[in-house]
Chains A and B, each alone.
Chain A
Amino acid sequence: MTYSPYEIMVVSAARFLKNDDVCFVGIGAPSAACNLAKLTSAPNITLIYESGTINTAPKVLPLSIGDGELCSTALTTVSGVEMFNYWLQGGRITVGFLGAAQLDRFGNINTTVIGNYNKPKVRLPGGGGAPEIASHSKQVYIIMKQSPRSFVSKIDFFTSYGFGKGGSERIDKGITTKGPQLLITDKAIWKPTPQSNELQVVALYPGVTREEMQDTVGWPIKYAKNLEEYVPPSKHELEVLRDLQERTKLAHGKKESN
Protein backbone atom coordinates (compact mmCIF):
# COMPACT_ATOMS: atom_id res chain seq x y z
CA MET A 1 0.00 0.00 0.00
CA THR A 2 1.29 3.48 -0.80
CA TYR A 3 1.23 6.12 1.92
CA SER A 4 1.87 9.84 2.37
CA PRO A 5 4.79 11.36 4.34
CA TYR A 6 2.25 12.42 7.00
CA GLU A 7 0.85 8.90 7.28
CA ILE A 8 4.23 7.24 7.74
CA MET A 9 5.12 9.84 10.40
CA VAL A 10 1.94 9.16 12.36
CA VAL A 11 2.24 5.38 12.03
CA SER A 12 5.89 5.50 13.15
CA ALA A 13 5.01 7.53 16.23
CA ALA A 14 2.10 5.25 17.14
CA ARG A 15 4.39 2.20 17.11
CA PHE A 16 6.49 3.61 19.96
CA LEU A 17 3.50 3.94 22.31
CA LYS A 18 2.75 1.24 24.87
CA ASN A 19 -0.21 0.13 26.90
CA ASP A 20 1.30 1.42 30.14
CA ASP A 21 2.11 4.86 28.73
CA VAL A 22 0.37 7.95 30.08
CA CYS A 23 0.55 10.47 27.25
CA PHE A 24 0.17 14.21 27.37
CA VAL A 25 -1.23 14.72 23.90
CA GLY A 26 -1.08 17.74 21.63
CA ILE A 27 -3.35 18.58 18.69
CA GLY A 28 -2.44 17.43 15.17
CA ALA A 29 0.02 14.62 14.47
CA PRO A 30 0.53 13.66 18.18
CA SER A 31 -3.22 13.30 18.61
CA ALA A 32 -3.50 11.17 15.47
CA ALA A 33 -0.57 8.98 16.60
CA CYS A 34 -1.93 8.46 20.12
CA ASN A 35 -5.39 7.57 18.91
CA LEU A 36 -3.99 5.26 16.22
CA ALA A 37 -1.95 3.49 18.91
CA LYS A 38 -5.10 3.14 21.03
CA LEU A 39 -6.90 1.54 18.06
CA THR A 40 -4.03 -0.80 17.16
CA SER A 41 -1.05 -1.80 19.31
CA ALA A 42 -1.82 -0.08 22.63
CA PRO A 43 -5.55 -0.29 23.40
CA ASN A 44 -4.98 0.43 27.10
CA ILE A 45 -2.84 3.53 26.66
CA THR A 46 -3.88 6.52 28.79
CA LEU A 47 -4.45 9.77 26.93
CA ILE A 48 -4.52 13.15 28.65
CA TYR A 49 -5.10 16.48 26.90
CA GLU A 50 -4.01 19.67 28.65
CA SER A 51 -7.58 20.99 28.75
CA GLY A 52 -7.95 18.68 31.76
CA THR A 53 -9.44 15.55 30.19
CA ILE A 54 -8.00 12.39 31.75
CA ASN A 55 -8.31 8.89 30.23
CA THR A 56 -10.09 10.27 27.22
CA ALA A 57 -11.12 8.10 24.26
CA PRO A 58 -12.36 10.36 21.47
CA LYS A 59 -14.13 8.56 18.62
CA VAL A 60 -12.94 11.23 16.20
CA LEU A 61 -9.84 13.41 16.37
CA PRO A 62 -10.38 16.74 18.11
CA LEU A 63 -9.86 19.99 16.20
CA SER A 64 -8.91 21.90 19.32
CA ILE A 65 -7.26 20.91 22.59
CA GLY A 66 -10.59 21.42 24.40
CA ASP A 67 -13.21 19.84 22.12
CA GLY A 68 -16.36 18.59 23.87
CA GLU A 69 -15.64 15.08 22.54
CA LEU A 70 -12.55 14.89 24.77
CA CYS A 71 -14.54 15.74 27.88
CA SER A 72 -17.58 13.57 27.16
CA THR A 73 -15.41 10.48 26.54
CA ALA A 74 -13.02 11.09 29.47
CA LEU A 75 -12.93 9.27 32.78
CA THR A 76 -12.79 12.65 34.50
CA THR A 77 -12.09 16.27 33.65
CA VAL A 78 -10.07 18.37 36.07
CA SER A 79 -9.27 22.08 36.41
CA GLY A 80 -6.28 23.72 34.76
CA VAL A 81 -4.54 24.06 38.13
CA GLU A 82 -4.95 20.37 38.92
CA MET A 83 -3.84 19.37 35.42
CA PHE A 84 -0.53 21.17 35.55
CA ASN A 85 0.21 20.66 39.25
CA TYR A 86 -0.91 17.15 40.14
CA TRP A 87 -0.68 15.35 36.85
CA LEU A 88 2.20 17.05 35.00
CA GLN A 89 4.40 18.49 37.77
CA GLY A 90 3.41 15.51 39.91
CA GLY A 91 5.36 13.27 37.53
CA ARG A 92 2.47 11.12 36.30
CA ILE A 93 3.13 11.60 32.57
CA THR A 94 5.37 9.03 30.86
CA VAL A 95 5.35 10.61 27.39
CA GLY A 96 4.88 14.26 26.56
CA PHE A 97 4.43 15.09 22.89
CA LEU A 98 5.79 18.31 21.46
CA GLY A 99 5.96 19.92 18.05
CA ALA A 100 7.98 22.99 17.09
CA ALA A 101 8.33 25.91 14.75
CA GLN A 102 12.09 25.61 15.18
CA LEU A 103 14.11 22.67 16.50
CA ASP A 104 17.86 22.33 16.97
CA ARG A 105 20.12 19.27 17.06
CA PHE A 106 19.84 19.00 20.85
CA GLY A 107 16.04 18.86 20.88
CA ASN A 108 15.53 22.43 22.06
CA ILE A 109 12.28 23.89 20.80
CA ASN A 110 11.04 27.32 19.76
CA THR A 111 7.33 28.11 19.38
CA THR A 112 7.55 31.70 20.65
CA VAL A 113 9.08 34.09 18.11
CA ILE A 114 11.03 34.20 14.87
CA GLY A 115 13.58 36.96 15.30
CA ASN A 116 14.14 39.10 18.37
CA TYR A 117 11.74 38.59 21.30
CA ASN A 118 11.09 42.29 21.79
CA LYS A 119 10.69 43.10 18.10
CA PRO A 120 9.88 39.79 16.44
CA LYS A 121 9.68 39.14 12.73
CA VAL A 122 6.92 36.63 13.43
CA ARG A 123 5.11 36.42 16.73
CA LEU A 124 4.14 32.75 17.25
CA PRO A 125 1.57 31.53 19.81
CA GLY A 126 4.11 30.89 22.58
CA GLY A 127 4.74 27.95 24.85
CA GLY A 128 1.42 27.20 26.55
CA GLY A 129 2.03 24.01 28.48
CA ALA A 130 5.23 23.09 26.62
CA PRO A 131 7.96 24.51 28.91
CA GLU A 132 6.79 22.24 31.73
CA ILE A 133 5.79 19.32 29.49
CA ALA A 134 9.45 19.35 28.38
CA SER A 135 10.78 19.23 31.93
CA HIS A 136 8.18 17.12 33.79
CA SER A 137 7.21 14.34 31.36
CA LYS A 138 9.38 11.29 32.01
CA GLN A 139 10.36 11.49 28.34
CA VAL A 140 9.50 13.72 25.40
CA TYR A 141 8.65 12.60 21.87
CA ILE A 142 8.87 15.26 19.18
CA ILE A 143 6.83 14.87 16.00
CA MET A 144 7.35 17.24 13.09
CA LYS A 145 8.03 17.36 9.38
CA GLN A 146 11.59 18.10 8.30
CA SER A 147 12.24 21.40 6.55
CA PRO A 148 15.23 23.77 6.41
CA ARG A 149 13.07 26.51 8.00
CA SER A 150 12.30 24.44 11.07
CA PHE A 151 15.37 22.21 11.50
CA VAL A 152 17.85 24.98 12.22
CA SER A 153 21.38 25.19 13.59
CA LYS A 154 20.33 27.84 16.12
CA ILE A 155 16.79 28.46 17.39
CA ASP A 156 15.71 32.06 18.04
CA PHE A 157 14.15 31.39 21.45
CA PHE A 158 14.27 28.53 23.95
CA THR A 159 10.56 27.95 24.52
CA SER A 160 11.08 24.39 25.74
CA TYR A 161 14.38 22.99 26.83
CA GLY A 162 15.79 19.76 25.42
CA PHE A 163 19.48 19.13 26.10
CA GLY A 164 20.65 22.77 25.85
CA LYS A 165 24.17 22.65 24.40
CA GLY A 166 24.26 18.90 24.87
CA GLY A 167 26.26 16.61 27.09
CA SER A 168 25.22 16.69 30.72
CA GLU A 169 23.76 20.21 30.63
CA ARG A 170 20.20 19.01 31.28
CA ILE A 171 21.21 17.05 34.37
CA ASP A 172 23.45 19.91 35.53
CA LYS A 173 20.41 22.18 35.52
CA GLY A 174 18.76 19.86 38.00
CA ILE A 175 16.21 18.43 35.59
CA THR A 176 15.63 14.81 36.51
CA THR A 177 13.54 13.64 33.56
CA LYS A 178 15.03 12.15 30.38
CA GLY A 179 14.07 14.85 27.87
CA PRO A 180 13.68 14.25 24.12
CA GLN A 181 14.15 10.52 23.54
CA LEU A 182 12.61 10.34 20.08
CA LEU A 183 12.20 12.62 17.11
CA ILE A 184 9.77 11.24 14.57
CA THR A 185 9.63 13.02 11.21
CA ASP A 186 8.21 12.41 7.76
CA LYS A 187 11.57 10.97 6.65
CA ALA A 188 13.32 9.33 9.58
CA ILE A 189 13.50 8.37 13.23
CA TRP A 190 16.04 10.13 15.41
CA LYS A 191 17.28 9.43 18.93
CA PRO A 192 19.79 11.21 21.17
CA THR A 193 23.37 9.96 20.90
CA PRO A 194 24.62 8.58 24.22
CA GLN A 195 26.87 11.11 26.08
CA SER A 196 26.58 14.05 23.64
CA ASN A 197 22.79 13.95 23.46
CA GLU A 198 22.89 15.22 19.89
CA LEU A 199 19.96 13.82 17.94
CA GLN A 200 21.11 11.25 15.39
CA VAL A 201 19.22 9.35 12.72
CA VAL A 202 18.61 5.74 13.72
CA ALA A 203 16.28 4.72 10.87
CA LEU A 204 15.46 6.06 7.44
CA TYR A 205 12.07 5.45 5.87
CA PRO A 206 12.00 3.40 2.66
CA GLY A 207 13.29 5.33 -0.32
CA VAL A 208 14.62 8.32 1.65
CA THR A 209 18.18 9.27 0.61
CA ARG A 210 20.85 10.96 2.71
CA GLU A 211 20.96 13.84 0.20
CA GLU A 212 17.23 14.41 0.62
CA MET A 213 17.71 14.31 4.39
CA GLN A 214 20.46 16.92 4.36
CA ASP A 215 18.36 19.25 2.13
CA THR A 216 15.77 19.48 4.89
CA VAL A 217 18.03 19.86 7.91
CA GLY A 218 20.10 22.93 8.76
CA TRP A 219 23.01 21.16 10.45
CA PRO A 220 25.34 18.31 9.38
CA ILE A 221 23.27 15.21 10.13
CA LYS A 222 24.76 12.54 12.33
CA TYR A 223 23.81 8.92 11.55
CA ALA A 224 23.95 5.95 13.88
CA LYS A 225 26.63 3.41 12.97
CA ASN A 226 24.11 0.73 12.13
CA LEU A 227 20.79 2.07 10.93
CA GLU A 228 17.77 0.12 12.17
CA GLU A 229 15.71 -1.66 9.57
CA TYR A 230 12.45 0.18 9.12
CA VAL A 231 9.28 -1.84 8.56
CA PRO A 232 6.92 0.14 6.29
CA PRO A 233 3.39 0.92 7.50
CA SER A 234 1.18 -2.14 7.23
CA LYS A 235 -2.15 -2.32 5.42
CA HIS A 236 -3.86 -2.60 8.80
CA GLU A 237 -2.15 0.46 10.29
CA LEU A 238 -2.97 2.56 7.25
CA GLU A 239 -6.58 1.38 7.11
CA VAL A 240 -7.20 2.17 10.75
CA LEU A 241 -5.57 5.61 10.41
CA ARG A 242 -7.55 6.45 7.27
CA ASP A 243 -10.76 5.23 8.84
CA LEU A 244 -10.11 7.47 11.88
CA GLN A 245 -9.41 10.44 9.63
CA GLU A 246 -12.51 9.77 7.54
CA ARG A 247 -14.68 9.60 10.69
CA THR A 248 -13.08 12.85 11.86
CA LYS A 249 -13.76 14.60 8.58
CA LEU A 250 -17.37 13.46 8.53
CA ALA A 251 -18.01 14.48 12.13
CA HIS A 252 -16.49 17.94 11.82
CA GLY A 253 -17.85 18.52 8.33
CA LYS A 254 -21.36 17.72 9.51
CA LYS A 255 -21.22 20.31 12.28
CA GLU A 256 -19.99 22.95 9.92
CA SER A 257 -22.58 22.46 7.21
CA ASN A 258 -25.66 22.10 9.41
Chain B
Amino acid sequence: MTKFQPLSTAINENLESGSFVAFEGFTHLIPYAAAHETIRSGVKDLTLARMTPDVIYDQMIGMGIVKKLIFSYAGNPGVGLLRRLRDAVENDWPKPLEIEEHSHAAMANSYEAGASNLPMAILRGYQGADLINVNPRIKTIECPFSGEYLAAVPALKPDVSIIHAQKADINGNVLVEGIIGVQKQAALAADKALVTVEEVVLDLGSHPNACVIPSWAISSISVVPGGAHPSYAQGYYERDNSTYLEWDKISSDRNAFSEWMQTNVLDQSPEIFAERVKHLRE
Protein backbone atom coordinates (compact mmCIF):
# COMPACT_ATOMS: atom_id res chain seq x y z
CA MET B 1 0.00 0.00 0.00
CA THR B 2 1.27 3.42 -0.88
CA LYS B 3 1.99 6.24 1.52
CA PHE B 4 1.81 9.99 1.13
CA GLN B 5 5.20 11.55 1.84
CA PRO B 6 7.00 14.84 1.34
CA LEU B 7 9.02 14.59 -1.88
CA SER B 8 12.38 14.83 -0.11
CA THR B 9 11.46 11.87 2.12
CA ALA B 10 10.28 9.81 -0.85
CA ILE B 11 13.51 10.41 -2.75
CA ASN B 12 15.80 9.89 0.25
CA GLU B 13 14.08 6.66 1.30
CA ASN B 14 14.01 5.08 -2.16
CA LEU B 15 17.04 6.25 -4.14
CA GLU B 16 20.68 5.62 -3.36
CA SER B 17 23.92 6.05 -5.23
CA GLY B 18 24.12 3.46 -7.98
CA SER B 19 20.33 3.10 -8.32
CA PHE B 20 18.71 2.32 -11.67
CA VAL B 21 15.98 4.91 -12.12
CA ALA B 22 13.47 5.82 -14.85
CA PHE B 23 11.87 9.26 -14.78
CA GLU B 24 9.27 8.76 -17.53
CA GLY B 25 7.05 11.15 -19.44
CA PHE B 26 6.64 11.78 -23.19
CA THR B 27 6.73 15.59 -23.46
CA HIS B 28 3.77 15.68 -21.03
CA LEU B 29 3.83 15.18 -17.22
CA ILE B 30 7.61 15.12 -16.92
CA PRO B 31 8.66 14.69 -13.28
CA TYR B 32 10.81 17.81 -12.99
CA ALA B 33 10.29 18.34 -9.26
CA ALA B 34 11.35 14.77 -8.50
CA ALA B 35 14.45 15.09 -10.68
CA HIS B 36 15.44 18.32 -8.93
CA GLU B 37 14.92 16.68 -5.54
CA THR B 38 17.13 13.82 -6.72
CA ILE B 39 19.89 16.29 -7.59
CA ARG B 40 19.57 17.89 -4.14
CA SER B 41 19.62 14.51 -2.39
CA GLY B 42 23.28 13.96 -3.27
CA VAL B 43 22.91 10.52 -4.87
CA LYS B 44 25.32 9.76 -7.71
CA ASP B 45 26.40 7.07 -10.18
CA LEU B 46 22.81 6.63 -11.31
CA THR B 47 21.80 4.54 -14.28
CA LEU B 48 18.94 6.39 -15.92
CA ALA B 49 16.42 5.11 -18.46
CA ARG B 50 13.99 7.16 -20.48
CA MET B 51 12.66 7.10 -24.05
CA THR B 52 13.00 10.86 -24.39
CA PRO B 53 15.64 12.13 -21.99
CA ASP B 54 15.15 15.87 -22.20
CA VAL B 55 16.00 18.81 -19.99
CA ILE B 56 15.90 16.96 -16.62
CA TYR B 57 18.33 14.35 -17.89
CA ASP B 58 20.51 17.10 -19.36
CA GLN B 59 20.53 18.66 -15.88
CA MET B 60 21.36 15.44 -14.03
CA ILE B 61 24.08 14.56 -16.55
CA GLY B 62 25.55 18.06 -16.31
CA MET B 63 25.60 17.77 -12.51
CA GLY B 64 27.70 14.63 -12.85
CA ILE B 65 25.32 12.24 -11.05
CA VAL B 66 24.71 9.90 -14.01
CA LYS B 67 26.91 6.93 -14.85
CA LYS B 68 24.88 5.38 -17.65
CA LEU B 69 21.98 6.47 -19.85
CA ILE B 70 19.55 4.12 -21.61
CA PHE B 71 17.49 6.07 -24.15
CA SER B 72 15.96 6.34 -27.61
CA TYR B 73 15.79 10.08 -28.40
CA ALA B 74 17.90 12.66 -26.61
CA GLY B 75 16.72 16.10 -27.64
CA ASN B 76 15.24 19.31 -26.27
CA PRO B 77 11.71 18.83 -27.66
CA GLY B 78 10.87 21.35 -30.36
CA VAL B 79 14.17 23.17 -29.77
CA GLY B 80 17.19 21.05 -30.66
CA LEU B 81 20.05 19.21 -29.05
CA LEU B 82 20.84 18.53 -25.39
CA ARG B 83 24.03 20.46 -24.76
CA ARG B 84 25.03 18.97 -21.40
CA LEU B 85 24.55 15.46 -22.76
CA ARG B 86 26.60 16.40 -25.82
CA ASP B 87 29.38 17.76 -23.60
CA ALA B 88 29.43 14.51 -21.63
CA VAL B 89 29.45 12.26 -24.71
CA GLU B 90 31.80 14.38 -26.83
CA ASN B 91 34.16 15.75 -24.14
CA ASP B 92 33.61 13.61 -21.01
CA TRP B 93 32.46 16.71 -19.07
CA PRO B 94 31.90 16.65 -16.17
CA LYS B 95 32.56 12.93 -16.48
CA PRO B 96 32.27 10.17 -19.09
CA LEU B 97 28.77 8.92 -19.79
CA GLU B 98 28.07 5.35 -20.79
CA ILE B 99 25.19 5.09 -23.26
CA GLU B 100 22.86 2.30 -24.31
CA GLU B 101 20.80 3.47 -27.26
CA HIS B 102 17.60 2.00 -28.67
CA SER B 103 14.68 3.01 -30.87
CA HIS B 104 11.39 4.20 -29.35
CA ALA B 105 9.63 1.02 -30.42
CA ALA B 106 12.23 -1.15 -28.70
CA MET B 107 12.25 0.88 -25.53
CA ALA B 108 8.47 0.96 -25.21
CA ASN B 109 8.52 -2.81 -25.58
CA SER B 110 11.33 -3.14 -23.02
CA TYR B 111 9.17 -1.43 -20.42
CA GLU B 112 6.21 -3.56 -21.42
CA ALA B 113 8.36 -6.69 -20.95
CA GLY B 114 9.51 -5.40 -17.56
CA ALA B 115 5.95 -4.77 -16.44
CA SER B 116 4.95 -8.21 -17.76
CA ASN B 117 7.76 -9.91 -15.81
CA LEU B 118 9.38 -11.21 -18.99
CA PRO B 119 13.15 -11.29 -19.53
CA MET B 120 13.04 -9.64 -22.95
CA ALA B 121 10.93 -8.01 -25.58
CA ILE B 122 10.72 -8.89 -29.26
CA LEU B 123 9.81 -6.63 -32.14
CA ARG B 124 10.22 -6.35 -35.87
CA GLY B 125 12.74 -3.57 -35.54
CA TYR B 126 16.12 -2.07 -36.40
CA GLN B 127 15.91 -3.46 -39.95
CA GLY B 128 18.94 -2.16 -41.82
CA ALA B 129 19.77 0.19 -38.95
CA ASP B 130 23.26 0.63 -37.47
CA LEU B 131 22.17 0.64 -33.81
CA ILE B 132 22.13 -3.13 -33.89
CA ASN B 133 25.87 -2.97 -34.75
CA VAL B 134 26.86 -0.65 -31.89
CA ASN B 135 24.57 -1.79 -29.06
CA PRO B 136 25.38 -5.36 -27.96
CA ARG B 137 22.10 -5.47 -26.04
CA ILE B 138 20.14 -5.63 -29.28
CA LYS B 139 20.06 -9.21 -30.56
CA THR B 140 18.14 -11.14 -33.17
CA ILE B 141 15.99 -14.13 -32.42
CA GLU B 142 14.37 -16.64 -34.74
CA CYS B 143 10.62 -17.06 -34.38
CA PRO B 144 10.08 -20.78 -33.55
CA PHE B 145 6.85 -20.78 -35.54
CA SER B 146 7.50 -18.74 -38.69
CA GLY B 147 11.30 -18.77 -38.82
CA GLU B 148 11.34 -14.99 -39.18
CA TYR B 149 14.23 -13.13 -37.58
CA LEU B 150 13.15 -10.49 -35.11
CA ALA B 151 14.93 -8.02 -32.85
CA ALA B 152 15.18 -8.83 -29.15
CA VAL B 153 16.01 -6.38 -26.36
CA PRO B 154 16.27 -7.03 -22.63
CA ALA B 155 13.37 -6.07 -20.36
CA LEU B 156 13.76 -2.80 -18.49
CA LYS B 157 13.34 -3.34 -14.77
CA PRO B 158 14.41 -0.18 -12.94
CA ASP B 159 14.93 -0.17 -9.19
CA VAL B 160 12.71 2.88 -9.09
CA SER B 161 10.40 4.48 -11.64
CA ILE B 162 9.22 8.03 -11.07
CA ILE B 163 6.26 9.63 -12.82
CA HIS B 164 4.13 12.75 -12.42
CA ALA B 165 0.32 12.45 -12.65
CA GLN B 166 -2.68 14.73 -12.45
CA LYS B 167 -4.22 13.37 -9.28
CA ALA B 168 -4.43 10.76 -6.57
CA ASP B 169 -7.51 9.96 -4.54
CA ILE B 170 -7.33 9.93 -0.76
CA ASN B 171 -6.62 6.19 -0.85
CA GLY B 172 -3.58 6.68 -3.08
CA ASN B 173 -4.95 5.49 -6.42
CA VAL B 174 -3.46 7.55 -9.24
CA LEU B 175 -5.01 8.82 -12.50
CA VAL B 176 -2.83 9.69 -15.52
CA GLU B 177 -4.61 11.46 -18.39
CA GLY B 178 -3.74 12.90 -21.79
CA ILE B 179 -0.54 11.81 -23.49
CA ILE B 180 0.32 8.86 -21.25
CA GLY B 181 3.50 7.64 -22.97
CA VAL B 182 4.89 4.60 -21.16
CA GLN B 183 4.29 5.83 -17.63
CA LYS B 184 2.11 2.91 -16.58
CA GLN B 185 4.51 0.34 -18.03
CA ALA B 186 7.50 2.06 -16.40
CA ALA B 187 5.76 2.24 -13.03
CA LEU B 188 4.85 -1.45 -13.12
CA ALA B 189 8.24 -2.57 -14.46
CA ALA B 190 10.09 -1.15 -11.45
CA ASP B 191 10.62 -2.54 -7.96
CA LYS B 192 9.26 0.72 -6.61
CA ALA B 193 7.06 3.34 -8.22
CA LEU B 194 7.16 6.90 -6.92
CA VAL B 195 4.50 9.34 -8.07
CA THR B 196 4.20 13.09 -7.75
CA VAL B 197 0.70 14.53 -8.29
CA GLU B 198 -0.89 17.91 -8.82
CA GLU B 199 -3.56 17.31 -6.18
CA VAL B 200 -5.37 14.81 -3.97
CA VAL B 201 -9.11 14.41 -4.46
CA LEU B 202 -11.88 12.46 -2.78
CA ASP B 203 -12.81 10.64 -5.98
CA LEU B 204 -10.78 10.35 -9.21
CA GLY B 205 -13.98 10.75 -11.27
CA SER B 206 -12.51 8.55 -13.99
CA HIS B 207 -14.18 6.17 -16.42
CA PRO B 208 -13.77 2.37 -16.54
CA ASN B 209 -10.92 2.30 -19.07
CA ALA B 210 -8.92 5.23 -17.77
CA CYS B 211 -5.20 4.93 -17.05
CA VAL B 212 -5.40 4.35 -13.30
CA ILE B 213 -2.60 2.88 -11.21
CA PRO B 214 -3.95 1.26 -8.02
CA SER B 215 -2.47 2.40 -4.71
CA TRP B 216 -1.06 -1.04 -3.92
CA ALA B 217 1.19 -0.88 -6.99
CA ILE B 218 2.72 2.44 -5.88
CA SER B 219 5.35 2.88 -3.17
CA SER B 220 4.99 6.56 -2.46
CA ILE B 221 2.99 9.61 -3.50
CA SER B 222 4.09 13.22 -3.04
CA VAL B 223 1.82 16.16 -3.70
CA VAL B 224 3.75 18.73 -5.74
CA PRO B 225 1.52 21.21 -7.60
CA GLY B 226 3.31 22.37 -10.73
CA GLY B 227 5.77 19.48 -10.39
CA ALA B 228 5.93 18.91 -14.16
CA HIS B 229 6.93 22.50 -15.04
CA PRO B 230 8.15 23.50 -17.65
CA SER B 231 6.37 20.54 -19.29
CA TYR B 232 2.64 20.55 -18.74
CA ALA B 233 -0.17 18.77 -16.92
CA GLN B 234 -3.23 18.46 -19.15
CA GLY B 235 -6.18 20.17 -17.47
CA TYR B 236 -3.94 22.05 -15.02
CA TYR B 237 -1.38 24.18 -16.81
CA GLU B 238 0.16 24.63 -20.24
CA ARG B 239 3.65 23.94 -21.46
CA ASP B 240 6.13 26.73 -20.74
CA ASN B 241 7.71 26.83 -24.18
CA SER B 242 9.93 29.82 -23.44
CA THR B 243 11.72 27.91 -20.66
CA TYR B 244 12.71 25.21 -23.15
CA LEU B 245 14.09 27.89 -25.49
CA GLU B 246 16.00 29.52 -22.62
CA TRP B 247 17.47 26.17 -21.64
CA ASP B 248 19.23 26.03 -24.99
CA LYS B 249 21.18 29.16 -24.04
CA ILE B 250 21.78 28.30 -20.38
CA SER B 251 23.02 24.81 -21.18
CA SER B 252 25.39 25.98 -23.91
CA ASP B 253 27.89 27.29 -21.35
CA ARG B 254 29.35 25.27 -18.46
CA ASN B 255 29.49 28.21 -16.04
CA ALA B 256 26.05 29.55 -16.93
CA PHE B 257 24.71 26.04 -16.42
CA SER B 258 26.34 25.62 -12.99
CA GLU B 259 25.11 29.01 -11.80
CA TRP B 260 21.60 28.34 -13.04
CA MET B 261 21.50 24.97 -11.28
CA GLN B 262 22.68 26.53 -8.02
CA THR B 263 20.03 29.26 -8.06
CA ASN B 264 17.12 27.36 -9.53
CA VAL B 265 17.61 23.81 -8.25
CA LEU B 266 20.11 23.45 -5.39
CA ASP B 267 18.86 26.52 -3.50
CA GLN B 268 15.18 25.67 -4.01
CA SER B 269 12.55 23.28 -2.67
CA PRO B 270 9.54 21.60 -4.33
CA GLU B 271 7.21 24.43 -3.27
CA ILE B 272 8.71 26.69 -5.95
CA PHE B 273 6.95 24.68 -8.68
CA ALA B 274 3.49 26.01 -7.73
CA GLU B 275 4.84 29.53 -8.27
CA ARG B 276 6.35 28.64 -11.63
CA VAL B 277 3.05 27.51 -13.14
CA LYS B 278 0.82 30.31 -11.83
CA HIS B 279 0.84 32.17 -15.15
CA LEU B 280 0.30 28.97 -17.14
CA ARG B 281 -2.84 27.71 -15.43
CA GLU B 282 -5.77 27.16 -17.77
A155 shortest CB reach to chain B, Å: 9
On whether the beta carbons of B81 and A68 are closer than 8 Å, the reply is no
* B128 contacts chain A at the CB level, 8 A cutoff: yes
On whether the beta carbons of A89 and B27 are closer than 8 Å, the reply is no
In whole angstroms, how far apart are the Cα atoms of A216 and B171 in the complex? 62
Total chain B interface residues with beta-carbon distance under 8 A: 56
On whether the beta carbons of A173 and B101 are closer than 8 Å, the reply is no
Contact with A along B94-131 (1 / 0, CB 8 A): 00000001011100110110000000000111111111
* A81 contacts chain B at the CB level, 8 A cutoff: yes
In the bound complex, residues from chain B placing their C-beta under 8 Å from that of A63 are: 77-78, 239, 241
In whole angstroms, how far apart are the Cα atoms of A127 and B138 in the complex? 15
In whole angstroms, how far apart are the Cα atoms of A127 and B105 in the complex? 10
On whether the beta carbons of B90 and A121 are closer than 8 Å, the reply is yes
On whether the beta carbons of B185 and A68 are closer than 8 Å, the reply is no
On whether the beta carbons of A129 and B26 are closer than 8 Å, the reply is no
* A192 contacts chain B at the CB level, 8 A cutoff: no
Query: What is the chain B residue whose CB lies nearest that of A67?
Result: B239
In whole angstroms, how far apart are the Cα atoms of A209 and B39 in the complex? 55
* A214 contacts chain B at the CB level, 8 A cutoff: no
* B274 contacts chain A at the CB level, 8 A cutoff: no
Query: What is the chain A residue whose CB lies nearest that of B112?
Result: A81
Query: What is the chain A residue whose CB lies nearest that of B107?
Result: A80
- B241 partner, pick from A112, A121, A174, A255, beta carbons under 8 A: A255
* B247 contacts chain A at the CB level, 8 A cutoff: no
Q: Which of B11-19, B159-167, B175-183, B249-257 contacts A (4 or more CB under 8 A)?
A: B175-183
Which of A77, A123, A164 is the most central at the interface, judged by chain B CB atoms within 10 Å of its CB?
A123
In whole angstroms, how far apart are the Cα atoms of A132 and B105 in the complex? 7
Interface residues in A101-159 by Cβ distance below 8 A to B read 112, 117-132, 134-136, 157-159
On whether the beta carbons of A52 and B180 are closer than 8 Å, the reply is yes
On whether the beta carbons of B127 and A127 are closer than 8 Å, the reply is no
Contact with B along A175-214 (1 / 0, CB 8 A): 1000000000000000000000000000000000000000
Interface residues in A45-104 by Cβ distance below 8 A to B read 50-53, 62-68, 70-72, 77, 79-81, 83-85, 88-89
In whole angstroms, how far apart are the Cα atoms of A159 and B135 in the complex? 13
* A2 contacts chain B at the CB level, 8 A cutoff: no
Q: Which of B2-10, B66-74, B264-272 contacts A (4 or more CB under 8 A)?
A: B66-74
* A235 contacts chain B at the CB level, 8 A cutoff: no
Enumerate chain A interface residues (CB-CB to B < 8 A).
27, 50-53, 62-68, 70-72, 77, 79-81, 83-85, 88-89, 112, 117-132, 134-136, 157-161, 164, 170, 173-175, 252, 255-256, 258
Enumerate chain B interface residues (CB-CB to A < 8 A).
26-28, 51-52, 71-75, 77-78, 81-82, 85-86, 89-90, 101, 103-105, 108-109, 111-112, 123-131, 134, 148-149, 178-182, 184-185, 211, 232, 234, 238-242, 244, 279-280
